[in-house]
Amino acid sequence: MTETISIFIGVIVLLGALLSLITTFGLIRLPDVYCRSHAASKSATLGVLFVLVAALLYFWIKDGFFSARLVLGIIFVFITSPVAGHLISRAAYYTNVPLWDKTVQDDLKTKNKQKIVKEIKNS
């Protein structure tokens, strides 16, 4: 394992850790559920992906061991984490968790109203 590669992998791990830290700051400082889930589902995913990719490269270059489990984990986190964020914020919206008081746009509200009006007209 050459010096360049070890520095490269170290940089990737540190970037992943930094993104996780930024996620935590976002969770503490952002005002409502939707903003927080925005922080949690995006930057946390990328942070975890960076750490996993670094682990994959490390074991691949150092031991010559290509871990299929890590590849599977990368794909899995990449698919599931945004969906989890989507489901959590949707559940929050439908249980009437209030939006931040400086919110200016709520498309889903008017959309749902239109749908209900259409259903009443059809019946």
Partner 1 sequence: MKVNDMILQTVTTLLSFIILIFSVYLFFAGHYTPGGGFIGGLMTSSALVLILLAFDLKTFKKIFPINFLTVAATGLLISILTGVAALFFDVPYLTHTFDYVELPILGETALTSTLIFDLGVYLVVVGVAMTIIQTIGESE
CB of 41 to partner 1, least distance (A): 13
CB of 115 to partner 1, least distance (A): 8
Contact call for residue 90 and partner 1 (CB under 8 A): yes
In angstroms, rounded to a whole number, what is the distance separating the alpha carbons of residues 40 and 117? Answer: 35
Contact call for residue 71 and partner 1 (CB under 8 A): no
- Residue environment code for 96-106, b if the CB has 16+ CB neighbours within 10 A, otherwise e: eeebeeeeeee
Contact call for residue 79 and partner 1 (CB under 8 A): yes
Angle between helices 33-63 and 3-29 (to 10 degrees): 170
Please list every residue from 20 through 49 that binds partner 1, using CB under 8 A: none
CB of 51 to partner 1, least distance (A): 20
Question: Position of tokens 């670094």?
Answer: 54
In angstroms, rounded to a whole number, what is the distance separating the alpha carbons of residues 20 and 51? Answer: 10
Q: Which is nearer to partner 1, 1 or 71 (CB)?
A: 71
Residues 6+ apart with CB under 8 A from 75: none
CB of 16 to partner 1, least distance (A): 22
Contact call for residue 117 and partner 1 (CB under 8 A): no
Q: Which residues are at the interface with partner 1 (CB under 8 A)?
A: 69, 72, 75-76, 79-80, 83, 86-87, 90, 94, 112, 115-116
